[in-house]
């Protein structure tokens, strides 16, 4: 089984809809991250969390919110989706010591 899983893997939605992307991990890591990847722009950090009670904004948090339901679960919400949120979204985890980040398979989101 994969250490970091994301659901759904693909999603098509319409402008104005609220959607949630979910991430679960079995690595036992405290730190979790949400990134988006756009062609020509690379990966950019949306939000990150160091434990259940810790949520921090990344460089592009506007239009997004997150919830850390448990150590193993970190969800990303788009309250009112817009077309420029069409992208590939990745969840990642890391422990404190090594610093290596482990990525999920990604969610491909299309906002019409």
Partner 1 sequence: KQEVTQIPAALSVPEGENLVLNCSFTDSAIYNLQWFRQDPGKGLTSLLLIQSSQREQTSGRLNASLDKSSGRSTLYIAASQPGDSATYLCAVRDQGAQKLVFGQGTRLTINP
List of residues contacting partner 1 (CB under 8 A): 4, 31, 33, 40-45, 48, 50, 56, 58-59, 90, 92, 98-106, 108
Query: Which of residues 74 and 90 has its CB atom nearest to partner 1 in the complex?
Result: 90
Polymer length of the chain: 112
Least distance to partner 1 from the beta carbon of 63, Å? 18
Q: What is the dihedral of CA 4, 44, 50, 70, to 10 degrees?
A: -40
Contact 77, 66 (CB under 8 A): yes
Smallest separation, CB 69 to partner 1 (Å): 21
Residue whose CB is less far from partner 1, 49 or 85: 49
CB of 96 to partner 1, least distance (A): 10
The residue (of 46 and 111) whose beta carbon lies closer to partner 1 is 46
Shortest Cβ 103–partner 1 spacing (Å)? 4
**Pairing status of strand 54-57 against strand 42-51:** antiparallel
Exposed, middle or buried, 73 (CB in 10 Å: 0-12/13-18/19+)? middle
Q: Is the CB of 15 or the CB of 25 nearer to partner 1? A: 25
Give the Cα separation of 1 and 14 in Å (integer).
Answer: 32
């Amino acid at each position: 089984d994969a250490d970091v899983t994301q659901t759904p893997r693909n999603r098509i939605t319409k402008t104005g809809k609220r959607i949630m992307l979910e991430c679960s991990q079995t690595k036992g890591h405290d730190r979790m991250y949400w990134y988006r990847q756009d062609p020509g722009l690379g990966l950019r950090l949306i939000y990150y969390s160091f434990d259940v009670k810790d949520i921090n904004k990344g460089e592009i948090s506007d239009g997004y919110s997150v919830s850390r339901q448990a150590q193993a679960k970190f969800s990303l919400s788009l309250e009112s989706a817009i077309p420029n949120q069409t992208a590939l979204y990745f969840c990642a985890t890391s422990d404190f010591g090594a610093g290596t980040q482990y990525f999920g398979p990604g969610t491909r989101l299309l906002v019409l």
